[in-house]
Chains A and B, each alone.
Chain A
Amino acid sequence: MTPETVSALALSLRVAVLATTLNALVGVPLAYLLARRRFRGRALVDLLVTLPLVLPPTVTGYYLIVLLGRRGWLGAPLYAATGWTIAFTWYAAVIAATVMALPLLVRTARAAIESVDRDLEKAAYTLGRSEWRTALEVTLPLARKGIIAGLVLAFARALGEFGATLMLAGNIPGKTQTVPLAIYTAVSTGEQTAALALVAMLTVLSCVVLVAAGRLGARAA
């Protein structure tokens, strides 16, 4: 294995793990709110979260540049204040993977939360539990199968993210080049052996994740 292969693999894993963690922290509360609360702008939030699922990844990547690039809505003030920009760093790869994976988690987790009998939550309220405690003790534990399934999908999506990552993080070997980008580069430069090695590794990794998730899901049931 070349140093580039090793670093691509390490980066891909790091990006996927971090993106999945961010998904859990942001996506699960979001899924709960969309499933259980009626608030202003709910339809808009729903639309924004779902959009990356239907837009071409390059379009999502473009919007992320508009938002976070050095001259972006958020990126420009950040650059002015710190002289640092997120674009073309490995953080950008995490952001891109997070945004692309979010709809998969939110949709799956939301469906699971919605399928929890509301009478169970009402029962918890009459037994003295706040909405917050009820979500933690009743709703989310009962929706855990769907939430785990959503996290697996999010992880897989983050691992394989290509288009939006290329737009926002670029394809810098040893810095922002994840496995999918490395495979593309290897194939386009005729390095068939390197491409095959990476493809095999990604395939094995995906299979391992699926099997592990299946075990986890079965235990949660």
Chain B
Amino acid sequence: MSARLDVRIIARLPAFTLDVTWTAGDGVAVLFGPSGAGKTLTLACLAGLLRPDAGRIVVGDRVLFDAAAGIDVPPQARRVGYVFQGYALFPHLSVADNVAFGLRDAPRAQRTDKTRDVLRRLGLAELADRRPQELSGGQQQRVALARALAIDPTLLLLDEPLSALDAPLRRALRDELRTILRDWGTAAVLVTHDFTEAYRIGDRIVVYDAGRVVQSAPRAELLWRPASESVARIMGIRNVLHGTVVKATADRIQIRWRGQLLEAVNSPTRSYLPPPESPIAFFIRPEYVRLIRKDRGAADPSHHMNLMDGVIVGEEDFGTTWSLRVRLSEAGEPAQGDHDLEVEVPHLVYEILEIDRDRHWQFSIHRGSIHVLPA
């Protein structure tokens, strides 16, 4: 993947400063983070609708903005397609006229052909003569996408393209959007605050927080190796915990936590060697905590790593899974309010093990499922 997008933006606004640097290759880059982190502002800078105070924006081999060189290509000349959060369809124009809006300079015949082609490819041919107000949210979203794609953009920007839709439609359109973006092959930047959306659609995820980039990584790397505790929290990772380092080597880290001695895998590519007795943050995905079956004899510590005892003190039904709040059988204040660990089990497991009747369990966590968060 070549670096298609090279972004460095410093924009000082009243009461907010955006200061971000990231690059992305072909495919979809997702700007992910909480509301107010500066994601939409970044899109405005990429589209030329807001002029940064400093920095440089390069798409492919085109310099769109370079403060030092005095380059600032106006939005009209950038050929950057923008799908706005509320879609911003022209209410006084038909679907076809909306899509043709960016093709004004082309000869009439070519304009008509292009419009028809784009409408057909996005399954909108039937709706060509309708007004935007007569369409469903999902259809409006596709028209906005069609209008932005019709200009053959060198870069496509999408601001929370799914947030205006209801949940079931959102899921369907998320995958549809991914397919369209792959098919079209246009480099795209998508803004979202929903991690599932970011992960499903993005090739690369750039995590924003308070006007800065806290991590930029391919999606799988981000999922398994968030760069810091704050990234983990922004991603909504559960069971982010704090312990003390006992011993760190290139491939293992021993952590003392709530009276337990936990063993975690140290990243072979990103060895992190904190000194003994230093504080350390780590997380355990709730779906990776194992419950030890009682009908198979006593648990074998040599087989079950990081074995601990606990009581279920609360539970929530999420439809397909149960989320259990577990308190360890250990004196002292629990790590997360009333509990130490959140454990997620599928409904089937919950029923087979009759968890509703039996609240006392042994838990085990594979060392590969304890993820250390560098400070």
Are A117 and B88 closer than 8 Å at their CB atoms? yes
List chain B residues, Cβ under 8 A from A117: 86, 88
Q: Which residues of A contact B90 (CB under 8 A)?
A: 120, 123-124, 138
Mark out the residues of chain A between 74 and 125 whose CB falls within 8 Å of any chain B CB in the assembled complex: 117, 119-120, 122-125
A128 to B74, CA, bound (A): 9
With contacts A128-B104, A141-B92 known, is A123 near B82, CB below 8 A? yes
Q: By the criterion CB–CB under 8 Å, are B151 and A127 in contact?
A: yes
Contact B88 A128 (CB under 8 A): no
CB distance from A115 to the nearest CB of B (A): 12
Which of A119, A122, A127, A141 counts the most B-chain CB atoms under 10 A from its CB?
A: A127
A221 to B92, CA, bound (A): 10
Q: Are B102 and A127 in contact (CB under 8 A)?
A: yes
Name A's interface SS.
helix
* Cβ–Cβ < 8 Å partners of B75 in chain A: 122, 125-126
Chain B, residue nearest A142 (CB): B92
What band does the interface of chain B fall in when counting residues whose beta carbon is under 8 Å from A?
20 to 34
Chain A residues whose C-beta falls within 8 Å of the C-beta of B82 in the assembled complex? 122-123, 126
Proximity bits, A128-169, B CB within 8 Å = 1, else 0: 111000000010011000000000000000000000000000
Report Cα–Cα, A122/B85, bound state, in Å: 12
Would you call B78 an interface residue if the criterion is a C-beta within 8 Å of the partner chain's C-beta atoms?
yes
Q: Mark B69-92, 1 if CB is under 8 A from A, else 0.
A: 000001111101110111010111
Tell me how far the C-beta of B247 lies from the nearest C-beta in chain A, rounded to whole angstroms: 56
In the complex, whether B300 has a CB less than 8 A from a CB of chain A is no
Looking at chain A, what size class is its interface with the partner chain? 10 to 19
| Cα–Cα distance between A127 and B88 once the two chains are bound (Å) | 12
Which of B80, B84, B92, B101 is close to A119, meaning CB atoms less than 8 Å apart? Answer: B84
Q: Are A126 and B47 in contact (CB under 8 A)?
A: yes
Residues of A within 8 A of B104 (CB): 128-129
Residues of B within 8 A of A127 (CB): 101-102, 147, 151
The answer to the question of B49 belonging to the interface, with a C-beta cut-off of 8 Å to chain A, is yes
Contact A125 B49 (CB under 8 A): yes
Docked-complex contact B92 and A123, CB < 8 angstroms: no
Residues of chain A contacted by B147 (CB below 8 angstroms): 123, 127
Complex contacts, A128 vs chain B, CB 8 Å? 76-77, 102, 104-105, 151
Whether the Cβ atoms of A129 and B76 lie closer than 8 Å is yes
Report how far A12 CA is from B80 CA in the complex, Å.
Answer: 53
What are the residues of chain A within 8 A of B76 when measuring CB–CB? 125-126, 128-130
Chain B residue with the shortest CB-CB distance to A141 = B92
How near does chain B come to A63, taking the closest CB pair, in angstroms? 38
B35 to chain A, nearest CB (A): 17
CA distance A123 to B151 in the complex (A): 12
Residues of A within 8 A of B91 (CB): 142
Closest 9 CB pairs of A and B: A127-B102, A119-B88, A125-B75, A123-B88, A126-B82, A119-B84, A128-B76, A127-B101, A120-B88
Q: List 22 A-B contacts (CB under 8 A).
A: A117-B86, A119-B84, A119-B86, A119-B88, A122-B47, A122-B84, A122-B88, A123-B90, A124-B90, A124-B101, A125-B48, A125-B49, A125-B74, A126-B76, A126-B81, A126-B82, A126-B102, A127-B102, A128-B77, A129-B101, A142-B91, A142-B92
Q: Which residues of B contact A (CB under 8 A)?
A: 44, 47-49, 74-78, 80-82, 84-86, 88, 90-92, 101-102, 104-105, 147-148, 151
